Amino acid sequence: MSNALLQDHAPGLEVCLFPDVREESYIVDSIEGDVPGYIRGHYYLNGPAKFERGDLKYRNWLDGDGMVCCLRFDDGQIRFTNRFVRGRKFQQEEEQGRAVFATFGTRFDGDKMRRGIATESPYNVSVYRYRDALIAFGEQSVPLELNPETLETMGEFDFDRQLNSLSPFSAHPKIDSRSGEFMNFGISFAGRQPLVNYYRFDANGVLACRKRATLDHACSIHDFAVSEHYAVIYLSPYVLDASAMMGEGKSTMDALEWRPELGGTLLVLNRMDGEEVARISIGDRYCLHTINCFEDANRLVLDVIELERPVYDQYQVLPDMFNDVPFGWPVRITMELETRRVVDRQQLDYHGAPDFPAIDPKLETQAYDDFWMLGIGTAGRPGRKFLDTLVHANWNGAIEEYRCPSGCYVGGEPVFIADPHDASGGAVMCQEMDSNGPTSSFVIFRACDVSHGPIARLRLRTPVHFGFHASFYAR
Ligand SMILES: [Fe+2]
């Protein structure tokens, strides 16, 4: 479709995407509404914040250097801190005052890659607490450890040298709050045989299992899921041609090809030892993020957001995003492992191109009903748009939502914060940015009444970037 026919459903988005972020730490003094008293602890958010180096402007939302934000809720006081994650890429480019490394979506003359074969991570996807550490993740790279209060980068977090700096390691680990185990996966694209690596660290942080499984295709996989006894990887046929990156100088984005004719596969592993349990065909959709996974008698239930096709190409060319965003739906897939069949599919009736699903973290690996996600209210209409809706959904089919005012957008995975005195209560928090100004806020909703609008708004002194994934740790 020609640009002349495209409408702009995201007025002011360019102002919100590229705020002049500064590294700061201050007490938030502009608070509207009432912050529930039970919110005490640390909230963390990671996302891309710097999109240009010298004369070079990045093309894709995934290219920007990661910056972590922290909100520390103490008795009656909220401290905001933000800081860039200082990986090898960030440090070298700061020192040299120019772009040095290729990114996911941007190549340039003379750009470098890690050992010539992989992009140097901007560490911009997620941030989690694990044992006493705070760790920031990029796509398929060993994470970095940050100081949990100051967010200062302390170095590579290699699990006491149980990983090396080339170990493929996704940005979506699963940390079981019951058992203390940490599980993750990573894709090896190099070599003739693409592989998926499965890792399980026990409650003492010891790498108890590292197991490889072969892949029929070099699939780009971003997330996975675990239940009490299984790990499930939704293998979508989004195939990386690594030779096109090496030989032809293509970006990762341009070396990825959507091949729905190959079909998708659910790879089910034994969570304890990584042994393969089943490979089950699953149609021709794309899965970027999972919602949860749990066992129900002899069945395994996997909840995901399924999209018509991949979405990474909709993150460019900045600041025009989501021009032709694919539709997506929350889908509950029920498998019978004994017969290796999908025995049920439930698709919720939501059409707003959802992403960033989240649940109450204490219900991960368990049966649950409610989840939250962000959506695009104008999905289906051609032209630029952005996330503008916070959605609360229930697997009974009920959906309610909060839609931002015009010119305002939401960001950051909605984080659920439990109310210790009310099992049916709790809050969710995400970002809201107003292009008029621009101004940035963190907004807090009653978890099961988001359509009421925010019950509290924490206005920041200086606008910050839209984040990707967030987490909350109660004190
Ligand atoms: Fe993600």
Distance 100 CA to ligand 1 centre (A): 25
Tens of pLDDT, residues 26-41: 999 999 999 999 999 9
pTM of the model: 0.97
Which residue, among 414, 233, 199, has the nearest Cα to 333 in the 3D structure? Answer: 233
Q: Which residues contact 96 (CB under 8 A, 6 or more apart)?
A: none
pLDDT for residue 1: 47
pLDDT for residue 190: 73
Distance 122 CA to ligand 1 centre (A): 14
Tens of pLDDT, residues 85-138: 999 999 999 999 999 999 999 999 999 998 777 899 999 999 999 999 999 999
Query: Within 13 Å and on the Cβ side, how many CA atoms surround 399?
Result: 17
Q: Could you give the CA distance from residue 122 to residue 87 in angstroms, rounded to a whole number?
A: 7
Distance 419 CA to ligand 1 centre (A): 26
Distance 172 CA to ligand 1 centre (A): 7
Positions in the chain short of pLDDT 70: 1-5
pLDDT for residue 116: 73
pLDDT for residue 231: 98
Distance 123 CA to ligand 1 centre (A): 12
Q: Could you give the CA distance from residue 311 to residue 78 in angstroms, rounded to a whole number?
A: 35
Q: Could you give the CA distance from residue 235 to residue 218 in angstroms, rounded to a whole number?
A: 10
Residue type at 294?
A: F
- Helix (H) / strand (E) element for 32: namely strand 30-33
Domain annotation for the chain: domains and CATH numbers? 3-474 (2.130.10)
Tens of pLDDT, residues 428-450: 999 999 999 899 999 999 999 99
